[in-house]
Amino acid sequence: MSDCLFCKIAAGAIPSNKVFEDETCLAFYDIDPQAPTHFLVIPKEHIGSVAEVTEDNAAVVAHIFTVIAQQCKKLGLQSYRVVSNIGEQAGQSVPHLHFHVLSGRDMTWPPG
Ligand code: 5GP
Ligand code: ZN
């Protein structure tokens, strides 16, 4: 989607501090970290949010979770939280599917 911030980051048109990249997804550090380690994992194809996940694109999401597991292992993270906000009320500010990976501090439950 031409007007989407994360599509531009995925395409390299806007720079990011990359954690990992392959043909399907990109992991990069959040510009406004909410924990000592905070990165985002996005599909390269435009999917608006978890609400747009279907049988046709679910393999991308499964792949993203394997990337999260591998990268967290590589970074030595033993405890972390994976979050995806869907819609404005839940705090989604960028309408391109992304999973936050947060680690390195105590976290509360339930989230605010
Ligand atoms: P959301 O609020 O949609 O759940 O998460 C969007 C995240 O994207 C926020 O944590 C925000 O800090 C991050 N973000 C917004 N713009 C940029 C950017 O240009 N670069 C990077 N690396 N992160 C961004
Ligand atoms: Zn997009």
d(CA 80, CA 89): 23
Which residues, judged by CB distance below 6 Å to any ligand atom, belong to the binding site of ligand 1? 5, 16, 28-32, 40, 85, 91-94
Query: pLDDT tens digits, residue range 1-24?
Result: 689 999 999 999 999 999 999 999
Percent of the chain exceeding pLDDT 90 equals: 97
Per-residue pLDDT at 25 exceeds 80 = yes
Predicted confidence at residue 90, as pLDDT, reads 98
Average pLDDT over every residue of 48-75: 98
Per-residue pLDDT at 111 exceeds 80 = yes
Take atom 12 of ligand 1 and give the residue whose Cα is closest: 32
**Residue in 38, 96, 98, 100 annotated catalytic:** 98
Q: What is the atom index within ligand 1 of the atom nearest the CA of 28? A: 22
Per-residue pLDDT at 104 exceeds 80 = yes
